[in-house]
Chains A and B, each alone.
Chain A
Amino acid sequence: NAGVTQTPKFRVLKTGQSMTLLCAQDMNHEYMYWYRQDPGMGLRLIHYSVGEGTTAKGEVPDGYNVSRLKKQNFLLGLESAAPSQTSVYFCASSSSGRADIQYFGAGTRLSVL
């Protein structure tokens, strides 16, 4: 039981490049989330999904897109990376009955030069 797995773990991009972060969970959770964490700060919600085929904006959605084509996967895309998107990205999942108890992945460290 791997829990929440994020790939890649590290990535360096140049400004304007695009990339997709993958999150996979094996707990059959309905809800999935993408957060970002900047140095010395708490986590901020980017987008979330309450089920396959559905997504919703969080508090900092600009510059990101997401897709939830399969229940176990939640993809975060950056179409045109900017230095302001340098951050650590965390994916999380929870059951629909317990959105308050979230299980997090190990994070993806992204640098945009």
Chain B
Amino acid sequence: DAKTTQPPSMDCAEGRAANLPCNHSTISGNEYVYWYRQIHSQGPQYIIHGLKNNETNEMASLIITEDRKSSTLILPHATLRDTAVYYCIVRVDKAAGNKLTFGGGTRVLVKP
């Protein structure tokens, strides 16, 4: 699985959009980009994933650059409950039994 690089931390104002970057310059053609988050003292939670097209669901939007070497997770209207560590993961999808490799992630603090 390709390695990812994320900023260690960032702050965001409540009600504003939070843009979380992820660099994955060694991504290969069959690898997807996944985002999970972990709210303090809870298990990780799946957010969204994509291959090359931008994706949107009820939680967030995922923007992947044309060369696929980086992506941005967008939380459109951050709330205090979005304070968490956000993990960007790159891997081949649907692989049987494969682990999720969680790196350091970005610690996001949403402030009132």
Give the chain B neighbours of A105 by CB distance below 8 A.
43
Q: Which residues of A contact B94 (CB under 8 A)?
A: 97-100
A: interface residue count bin: 20 to 34
Task: Give me the interface of A with B, judged by CB distance under 8 Å.
Answer: 4, 31, 33, 35, 42-43, 45, 48, 50, 56, 58-59, 90, 92, 96-107
16 contacts between A and B (CB under 8 A): A42-B102, A42-B104, A42-B105, A43-B44, A50-B96, A92-B43, A99-B95, A99-B98, A100-B34, A100-B94, A100-B98, A101-B46, A104-B42, A104-B44, A104-B45, A105-B43
How far apart sit A78 and B71, CA to CA, in the bound complex (Å)? 40
Q: What separation, in Å, do the CA atoms of A50 and B98 have in the docked complex?
A: 10
Inter-chain CA distance A108–B46, complex, in Å, is 19
A42 touches B43 (CB 8 A): no
> Interface size on B (CB < 8 Å)?
24
**B100 on interface, CB distance cutoff 8 Å:** yes
B95 and A100 within 8 A (CB): yes
Q: Mark B84-112, 1 if CB is under 8 A from A, else 0.
A: 00010001011111111111110000000
- What is the minimal beta-carbon distance from B3 to any residue of chain A, in angstroms? 12
Find chain B residues with CB under 8 A from A50 CB. 96-97
Q: Are B99 and A33 in contact (CB under 8 A)?
A: yes
Are A42 and B101 in contact, CB atoms less than 8 angstroms apart?
Answer: yes
